[in-house]
Amino acid sequence: MSRTKFFERTAVGAALFLAVASGSCFAGGGPQVLPNFVSDRPLVKNPVPKDRVLHGSSSDPFEAANRAAWTFNYDYLDRYGLRPVAHSYVDYVPKPIVTGVHNFLSNIREVNNTVNNLAVAEFTDSAVSLGRFVVNSTIGLLGLFDVATHLGMEQKRMTFGTVLGKWGVNNGPYMQIPFVTMQTPRNIVGTLVDESYMPWSQIDWGWRIAYVALSVLDTRADLIAHEEMIDNSVDPYITSRDFYLQYVEGQVIGKEGIIEAQKAKDLEDQKNLDSYMDEIDE
């Protein structure tokens, strides 16, 4: 067996272990007795209509199914899989290695940033993304070190899902998918497009699985800071859903746009709440 094949198979084995051990990629809570997939968390009556428009013109018409998938992902797969793995990764792996892995994964995405910024006529950002990829892939040793940021070249993140949003495509219905967690049709299409050309088209499935596993671990490690907010919320499903949709839409309309959208959403929610309270008083 060649040395290349040996390392490839080793990477695939490690990736599969992480994927099976992790399952979901969002926050979890404390220990809970298996095996019932019905959450023991009390249901909270939500006065906001299910068909209301969420961030990015999204909606949640499949809330019952989404909540079941959320309970599976949040209370079991993440709690007993990825959460302890992510905490161990952050607590015991040397910080320079954790940072290096994050930088390496981020550097690969600069190819997508270059193409997608061109697609929305952000020519300067596209040039910066290309420059970052060249600098970090060479001086930064394949992206392990983010030299470009130290040279004043800030990352200009742009996924094709965001491009579609800037082109006027709505998110579509919010979906909570077992093993995958939060998604919208727009982001699913965006991911498929982003992974359809180089370097993805030149990477075989073994290395791609390794990349996905490391990406899930890296993303979950970043979400540790948000665990307390989700764990302590009255309705973790609603909190995580709105947080996710707000973040996705923020990539499309920017910080100022999301502030205005939040004001409009809060006003609509207040009207719905007032109507609900009026019905109770009658």
The percentage of residues in the chain with a pLDDT greater than 90, rounded to a whole number, is: 58
230-276 pLDDT, tens digit per residue, is 989 999 999 999 999 999 999 998 865 555 555 555 565 555 555 54
**Where are the extended beta strands (E) located within the chain?**
175-177, 181-183
pTM, two decimal places: 0.73
Report the alpha-carbon distance of residue 240 to residue 237 in Å, rounded. Answer: 5
Residue 165 in contact with residue 246, Cβ under 8 Å?
no
119: helix, strand or coil = helix
Which pLDDT does position 57 carry in this prediction?
74
Closest CA to 268 of 247, 232, 242: 242
Q: Report, as ranges of residue numbers, the positions in the chain whose pLDDT lies below 50.
A: 1-45, 47-48, 276
C-alpha 167: how far from chain center: 21
